[in-house]
């Protein structure tokens, strides 16, 4: 595909904007909300794992889009379901019921990351994908602006620690579903082909693991989610413990930077290839956790903002760069499943393990105050040191074992 019309580009960009906004508006502050309503331990880990558990069904919905229904229609149906389930979750006061509705909501939401990628890449050159995906980052930032505006609307000091963000997510999901009706038709590329049990489960993309380099990429990407999840799922707990106000808006500064970094990703991929882009993203992840550690050890809270601001580099170069790598490695008939596979491995299995690992790690370094038994004290410096060491090891592993086998095939960027 050599180009796309302005009309198509606008609709694809709006799709990304709403798809990420509907999630960011409530997920960023979820850990702080759970703390506020007294949810701890295994139940807390389960609720925070609703996202990775939702990724487990992503390949199935992507298989449906590959073989049976147009991708934009599957996306529309899932977003209508998200609107209803987020609304039901917002109405819950029982943590178990909250977990059930969030889990069902994530079953519907997580496949949409793969589907929006597949729709965008089917209707635009893959080298242009980061320029469309950047509107997902803009939507993430807009969720913070939305939350600040909603403070006035709902007459509360802050949305953090309340159920109001879930109502915001439900409303955004409804708007996204209506927009999906206008997306360009993206018919199933493998329609009519015989399907085995592997196809029914959406796991045809697993055949890509026969490629040694692709297998190395998948394995190391999954392991990267262990340190990544500490910030992505539990960062709001840390910032709340440090006395930060408007945690959602503060953490979304990282997505603000991401909007600009994302525009550099196509040039980096074209000039330096996938390996360098991935290494830059992992290097930024290491900078994040060293900044958290240094901010605590040297009593420099300003370093926490460094940890926030590098998020755009991490996500743009490592995750979006990885999605482009997967798109180029996969045959056309299984591209949606391949995108579903990377979501399953990273934001599913990797984040699931990472959530339980990090909740347990925090519990290990948390004790009751000797002054007030109702108060707990967490040794965050030790936690950040451990996470930094893990990230450094993974950075070295990517450097040693991953080859850029697409370097010679990367097309130049055509503006």
- Model confidence at 215: pLDDT above 80: yes
Inter-helix orientation angle 212-232/380-401, to 10°: 160
φ, ψ (nearest 5 deg) of residue 323: -65, -40
Indicate the pLDDT class of residue 200, thresholds 50, 70 and 90.
low
Q: Decide if 249 contacts 147 (C-beta within 8 A).
A: yes
pLDDT in tens, 125-151: 767 777 888 898 788 888 877 666 766
pLDDT in tens, 159-175: 666 788 888 899 999 99
pTM of the model: 0.79
φ, ψ (nearest 5 deg) of residue 319: -80, -50
Q: Decide if 121 contacts 129 (C-beta within 8 A).
A: yes
Give the residue from 330, 386, 396, 342 showing the smallest Cα distance to 360: 386
> Which CATH homologous superfamily contains domain 6-184+196-404?
MFS general substrate transporter like domains (1.20.1250.20)
pLDDT in tens, 370-408: 766 667 889 999 999 999 999 999 999 999 999 888 754
Distance CA 306, CA 323 (A): 25
Q: What is the pLDDT of residue 374?
A: 64
Distance CA 386, CA 382 (A): 6
Establish how many alpha carbons lie within 13 A of residue 53's alpha carbon, considering only the half-sphere containing its beta carbon. 16
For residue 280 the two structure tokens come to 């830059």
Please write down the HEC assignment for all residues of the chain.
Answer: CCCCCHHHHHHHHHHHHHHHHHHHHHHCCHHHHHHHCCCCHHHHHHHHCHHHHHHCCHHHHHHHHHHCCCHHHHHHHHHHHHHHHHHHHHCCCCHHHHHHHHHHHHHHHCHHHHHHHHHHHHHCCHHHHHHHHHHHHHHHHHHHHHHHHHHHHHCCCCCCCCCHHHHHHHHHHHHHHHHHCCCCCCCCCCCCCCCCHHHHCCCHHHHHHHCHHHHHHHHHHHHHHHHHHHHHCCHHHHHHHCCCCCHHHHHCHHHHHHHHHCCCHHHHHHHHCHHHHHHHHHHHHHHHHHHHHHHHHCCCCHHHHHHHHCHHHHHHHHHHHHHHHHHHHCCHHHHHHHHHHHHHHHHHHHHHHHHHHHHHHHHHCEEECCCCCCCEEECHHHHHHHHHHHHHHHHHHHHHHCCCCCHHHCCCCCC
What is the b/e burial string over 2-14, where b = at least 16 CB atoms within 10 angstroms of the residue's CB? Answer: eebeeebbebbbb
7 contacts: CB under 8 Å, gap ≥ 6 = none
For residue 289 the two structure tokens come to 């956790």
Residues making up the chain, counted from first to last: 415
Indicate the pLDDT class of residue 202, thresholds 50, 70 and 90.
low
- Model confidence at 76: pLDDT above 90: yes
**What is the percent of the chain with per-residue pLDDT over 70, rounded to a whole number?**
88
Distance CA 69, CA 72 (A): 9
Establish how many alpha carbons lie within 13 A of residue 1's alpha carbon, considering only the half-sphere containing its beta carbon. 14
Give the residue from 350, 356, 355, 349 showing the smallest Cα distance to 56: 349
- Model confidence at 413: pLDDT above 60: no
Give the residue from 35, 29, 24, 30 showing the smallest Cα distance to 48: 30
Q: What is the pLDDT of residue 156?
A: 64
**What is the percent of the chain with per-residue pLDDT over 90, rounded to a whole number?**
41
Burial label, 370 (beta-carbon count in 10 A; 0-12, 13-18, 19+): exposed
- Model confidence at 229: pLDDT above 50: yes
Instruction: Return left, alpha or beta for 372; rule: phi > 0 is left, psi -120 to 50 is alpha, else beta.
Output: beta
Indicate the pLDDT class of residue 155, thresholds 50, 70 and 90.
low
Of the candidate ranges 104-118, 138-152, 295-309, 322-336, the one whose mean pLDDT is the lowest = 138-152
Indicate the pLDDT class of residue 276, thresholds 50, 70 and 90.
very high
């Amino acid at each position: 595909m050599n180009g796309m019309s302005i009309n198509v580009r606008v609709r694809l960009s709006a799709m990304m904007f709403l798809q990420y906004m509907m999630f960011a508006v409530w997920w960023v502050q979820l850990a702080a909300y759970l703390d506020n309503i007294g949810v701890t331990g295994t139940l807390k880990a389960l609720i925070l794992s609703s996202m990775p558990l939702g990724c487990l069904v992503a390949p199935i919905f992507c298989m449906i889009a590959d073989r049976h229904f147009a991708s934009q229609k599957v996306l529309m149906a899932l977003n209508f379901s998200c609107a209803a389930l987020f609304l039901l979750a917002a109405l819950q006061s029982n943590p178990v019921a909250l977990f059930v509705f969030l889990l069902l909501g994530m079953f519907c939401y997580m496949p949409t990351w793969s589907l929006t990628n597949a729709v965008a890449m089917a209707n635009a050159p893959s080298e242009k994908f980061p320029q469309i995906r950047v509107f997902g980052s803009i939507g993430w930032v807009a969720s913070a602006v939305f939350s600040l505006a909603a403070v006035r609307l709902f007459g509360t000091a802050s949305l953090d620690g309340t159920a109001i963000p879930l109502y915001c997510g439900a409303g955004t999901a409804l708007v996204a579903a209506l927009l999906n009706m206008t997306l360009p038709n993206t018919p199933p590329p493998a329609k009519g082909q015989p399907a085995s049990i592997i196809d029914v489960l959406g796991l045809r993309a697993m055949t890509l693991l026969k490629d040694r380099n692709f297998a190395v990429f998948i394995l190391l990407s999954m392991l990267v989610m262990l340190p990544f999840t500490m910030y992505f799922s539990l960062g709001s707990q840390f910032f709340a413990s440090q006395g930060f106000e408007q945690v959602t808006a503060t953490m979304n500064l990282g997505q603000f930077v991401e909007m600009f970094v994302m525009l550099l990703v196509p040039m980096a991929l074209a000039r330096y290839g996938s390996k360098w882009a991935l290494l830059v993203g992992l290097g930024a992840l290491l900078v994040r956790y060293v900044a958290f550690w240094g901010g605590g050890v040297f009593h420099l809270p300003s370093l926490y903002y460094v940890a926030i601001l590098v998020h755009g580099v991490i996500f743009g170069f490592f995750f979006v760069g990885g999605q482009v790598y997967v798109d180029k490695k996969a045959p056309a008939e299984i591209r949606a499943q391949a995108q579903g596979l990377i979501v399953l491995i990273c934001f599913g299995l990797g984040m699931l393990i990472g959530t339980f690992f990090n909740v347990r790690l925090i519990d290990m370094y948390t004790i009751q105050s000797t002054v007030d038994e109702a108060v707990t004290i967490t040794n965050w410096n030790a936690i950040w040191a451990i996470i930094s060491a893990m990230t450094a090891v993974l950075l070295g592993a990517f450097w040693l074992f991953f080859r850029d086998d697409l370097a010679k095939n990367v097309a130049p960027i055509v503006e």
